[in-house]
Amino acid sequence: MNNSNGSQSTIVQLCYENVNGSCFKTPYSSGPRMILYVAFGSGALLAILGNLLVMISILHFRQLHSPANFLIASLACADFLVGATVMPFSMVRSVESCWYFGESYCKLHSCFEGSFCYSSIFHLCFISIDRYIAVTDPLVYPTKFTLNVSLVCITFSWLLAIGYTFSLLCSGVNEDGLEELVSALTCVGGCQIALNQTWSMISFLLFFIPTLIMVILYCKIFLVAKEQARKIENTSSKGESSSSVSYKARVSKRERKAAKTLGIAVIAFVISWFPYFIEVIIDAFLGFITPTYIYEILLWFSYYNSTMNPLIYAFFYPWFRRAIKLIATGKVFRGHTSTIDLFSEKVKVSDETN
């Protein structure tokens, strides 16, 4: 018994030695610790580089300057910021089980986390609306979803997300009624944000309502796309002008493919974030019973969504693969590459000599 107690006492560590009120530290052994750092670090790096490539591609190549693509670039910006300002610090907290970046940045880190998450949700919701208009009425779509409309959607997505998250966490109303619990859990080296039942429900609804809109719209897009394909086949068989049918078919096919790709991005987002928001509701109403390791797993599962969109674009969009190749090889710095036709299978870059 004495040996057992002695071994247990050596296991107990503090985040800050010789500091009163320090949190307990439960570090991993060297092997799992290295694996976790590699897994989390590679996720952060992929989120940063992948989304940076999306933003550079859309902003550099004029052919990609469209209201819909500017929405995608803004979405990529939110995911990029998750990788740059949230994931690296969460990585250290998750692996070391301690927060070493100060109490002030703890709250700021949580504000960043919430802001970029909700910004992604709102961007995806507007993108689904954009795709719905493009698929249901592709020929007049350019006059409906203009650059000004896109900028309004982008501004709304950022301002609402940042305004809600910062006002909630900085005011402290999220902890109303949880003062005793927060006081009991507070220690030096911890970074925990508690949401009471009211604000956890509001936060869940801000996730659920846009998600429900996306699901409904993509179901309608799927039905409309099937109907359009059938009509084009019937029109073609009736002998309508081949050029007219061909143009309608190309436009319809392009918009359906874009809707399908972004639909996959929406599904990936819902799968990544839904378990986390369910956990938030469960914790608020059942007395914060979720073990820390379960919370960390769900949180990192949601973080990895920021790495998915560039991979989805690279898999489904040939133009994105061509843009990546031009950027990675440094050819974007040669000649007038902003005017390159990325939709052509053969991308040519003129070499300019001094």
In which element (H, E) is residue 336 found? none
pTM of the entire predicted model: 0.86
Which amino acid, 321? Answer: R
pLDDT at 239: 53
In whole angstroms, what is the distance from residue 112 CA to residue 78 CA? Answer: 10
C-alpha–C-alpha distance, residues 135 and 255, integer Å: 6
Residue position matching structure tokens 């307990």: 24
CATH number of 30-331: 1.20.1070.10
| Residue the block writes with tokens 């990936």 | 268
| pLDDT tens sequence for the chain (354 residues) | 444 444 444 457 888 888 888 888 887 888 999 999 999 999 999 999 999 999 999 998 988 999 999 999 999 999 999 999 999 999 999 999 999 998 889 999 999 999 999 999 999 999 989 988 888 887 888 888 999 999 999 999 999 999 999 999 999 898 888 888 888 878 888 888 888 999 999 999 999 999 999 989 888 887 887 776 676 666 655 555 555 545 555 655 666 666 777 778 888 888 999 999 999 998 888 888 888 889 889 999 999 999 998 888 878 888 888 888 888 888 887 767 888 888 776 555 544 333
CA angle 289, 36, 100 (to 5 degrees): 70
pLDDT attached to residue 138: 79
Q: How far apart are CA 230 and CA 318, in angstroms?
A: 26
Paired tokens of 111: 């504000």
DSSP codes of every residue in 65-119: -SHHHHHHHHHHHHHHHIIIIIHHHHHHHHHHSS--S-HHHHHHHHHHHHHHHHH
* Euclidean distance between CA atoms 92 and 37, whole angstroms: 8
d(CA 323, CA 61): 8
Per the listing, tokens 């973080």 go with 303
Taking the domains of the chain in order of start, what are their residue ranges? Answer: 30-331
